[in-house]
Structure 1
Amino acid sequence: MTRSAQATGRAAQAAHEPAAGTRVPEVAFAMRGGHVALDGRRVLRGVDLRIETGEVVAVLGANGSGKSTLIRTLLGLVPLTAGTAELFGTPPARFRDWWRIGYVPQRLSVGGGVPATVREVVASGRVPRQRRLRPSGAADRAAVTAALESVGLAGRAGDPVGLLSGGQQQRVLIARALAGEPDTFVMDEPTAGVDAESQRHLAGTLASLVRQGRTVLLVAHELGPLAPLITRSIVVRDGVVAHDGPAQHGEGACHPHPGHEQERPHAYDVSSGPMSPGAPK
């Protein structure tokens, strides 16, 4: 190779390298050739996905399109039938840094057993940050209080969660994720079936996370007041990615393919305690 060719090659490589001191985003979620089948039905079909830290991404799609299955697969809650998935460069089954991820399921399931208070549910979000057998400390209590205040439920901390409205229970789940102080939030249909006040609280909380540079991945059928905060949208249609690009805020952006059956909601059961996203089911 001539010197001029070598110089040209070095120049081309330098053009694709980040400038000195530039922060290179970490890949938070990745999926390559992802296939999922549930009860003999193909739900995801060859999904390729890459989400970097600091992004605010909405996964959109009609009910039954596979959007909730997609994020649950990324978290290791649903097994792949083919392909690969990674959390911060590690397969979900081997991922251990669950404190980095705050997961907000679709709804709070208030079952039998000893009733849990709002504060107790929110405090369970601190578990990934606590050492085994270590009692809660001042930092844990402060984080729980701050999380409750951020969702407007500080005055209901001692109430049983079963007495709260559906929208308030959703805010409890969001506070639980906030209490863990993760750098990445995954929210599954956070605005579905909740009242306008709770949606406004969520939008305010999400705006604060965006200002802090947190990574946010949320699933939605409709974005409502969250729409202005989204920087990238991924539209899932019949188990494949139909769109991946700049956020769609125009008419029809949140209804890409109507007419599907309702997806089964995914719950956080306070009667059985918290389950980390990576725990086997």
Structure 2
Amino acid sequence: MKSPTPPRPGPPFAMNGGHVRLDGRDVLRGVDLAVEPGDLLAVLGPNGAGKSTLVKALLGLLPLSAGRTEIYGRPPARFRDWKRIGYVPQRLPMGGGVPATVREVVASGRIARQSRWRPPSAADRAAVDRAIEAVGLSARARDSAHLLSGGQQQRVLIARALAGEPDAFVMDEPTAGVDAASQAALAGTLGELAAAGRTVVLVAHELGPVEPLINRTIVLDHGRVVRETSTGAATAALGRAS
């Protein structure tokens, strides 16, 4: 007798009827979204459209007031395989104590792959080296991350996510307010992720040099998905949403 087929895991991210209410205001309104493996999805829309709220809700960082969201088929509260997910927030957190170096920040991206009692391995150190090199910051690895420019700090956050070698990435406005060199570095990194079949959800107000790499877009306005487009239509969709 054949063994039963194990349940197939869901897509990297899925939301059904997602609704978020913050400070008495509806920020997301009935959002349905499925992010499939290998998607490079751009979440577009004007300021205040709910873009950052959407990705934080997908990750379980913000609770839904209605609806459901899943990561690889499980609600965020029950998801345990966090090494599969890389998150790039909008800015480097300002922590207290001794300022962390670029390498220390990037190395923190390996935590989900490390045993609590095991020191960093050669594989961990190699992954950190590769991530720092990928964003062009090898020469700044020993510098304090908080003394870098805004664009360089964003590269550090991307490197931290890369170091964890996840299957899916969520990047919250990585091109906002950064210099042309940092935007070009991001485009190069996204190209490598696409070639490796990784999944990326990218929040943006404008896409710049990463636009040719995007294969899907959704446009948010007032917390609703008002448009979805496929390859080649990202710039036009963004222009209509602004």
For Structure 1 versus Structure 2, the TM-score category normalised by the shorter chain is: over 0.9
Pairing 1:200–2:184 present: yes
Q: Percent identity?
A: 67
> Which residue does 1:15 correspond to in 2?
none
The secondary structure found in structure 2 opposite 1:210 is helix
> Which residue does 1:183 correspond to in 2?
167
> Which residue does 1:233 correspond to in 2?
217
> Which residue does 1:91 correspond to in 2?
75
The secondary structure found in structure 2 opposite 1:107 is coil
For 1:49-106, what per-residue CA distance to the aligned partner results, in whole angstroms no more than 9, with x for missing partners?
1111111100101110001100100000000000101000000011001000110001
> Which residue does 1:214 correspond to in 2?
198
Shift in alpha-carbon separation, 1:212–1:69, aligned structure 2, 3 A: same
> Which residue does 1:142 correspond to in 2?
126
Larger Rg: 1
How far is the alpha carbon of 1:255 from its aligned partner? Answer: 4.1
Conservation of the 8 A alpha-carbon contact between 2:171 and 2:203: yes
How far is the alpha carbon of 1:162 from its aligned partner? Answer: 1.6
How far is the alpha carbon of 1:251 from its aligned partner? Answer: 5.1
How far is the alpha carbon of 1:254 from its aligned partner? Answer: 2.2
Conservation of the 8 A alpha-carbon contact between 1:61 and 1:255: no
Unmatched segments (≥5 aa) in structure 1: 1-23, 259-281
> Which residue does 1:165 correspond to in 2?
149
One-letter identity of the residue aligned with 1:131: S
> Which residue does 2:4 correspond to in 1?
none
One-letter identity of the residue aligned with 2:226: A
> Which residue does 1:242 correspond to in 2?
226
Unmatched segments (≥5 aa) in structure 2: 1-7
Conservation of the 8 A alpha-carbon contact between 1:221 and 1:255: no
> Which residue does 2:137 correspond to in 1?
153
The secondary structure found in structure 1 opposite 2:237 is coil
The secondary structure found in structure 1 opposite 2:238 is coil
Q: 2:27 and 2:188 mapped to 1: Cα distance?
A: 33
Q: 1:124 and 1:166 mapped to 2: Cα distance?
A: 19
How far is the alpha carbon of 1:131 from its aligned partner? Answer: 1.1
How far is the alpha carbon of 1:112 from its aligned partner? Answer: 3.2
> Which residue does 1:262 correspond to in 2?
none
2:94 to 110, 126, 143: 110
One-letter identity of the residue aligned with 2:187: A
How far is the alpha carbon of 1:208 from its aligned partner? Answer: 0.4
TM-score scaled by length of structure 1: 0.81
The secondary structure found in structure 2 opposite 1:236 is strand
Q: 2:214 and 2:70 mapped to 1: Cα distance?
A: 23
> Which residue does 1:71 correspond to in 2?
55
CA RMSD across the alignment = 1.5
Shift in alpha-carbon separation, 1:26–1:211, aligned structure 2, 3 A: farther
One-letter identity of the residue aligned with 2:174: P
For 1:88-127, what per-residue CA distance to the aligned partner results, in whole angstroms no more than 9, with x for missing partners?
0000011001000110001113343211000000000000
For 1:200-221, what per-residue CA distance to the aligned partner results, in whole angstroms no more than 9, with x for missing partners?
0000010000000000111000
The secondary structure found in structure 2 opposite 1:178 is helix
Q: 2:66 and 2:194 mapped to 1: Cα distance?
A: 33
TM-score scaled by length of structure 2: 0.93
The secondary structure found in structure 2 opposite 1:46 is strand
Aligned residues: 235
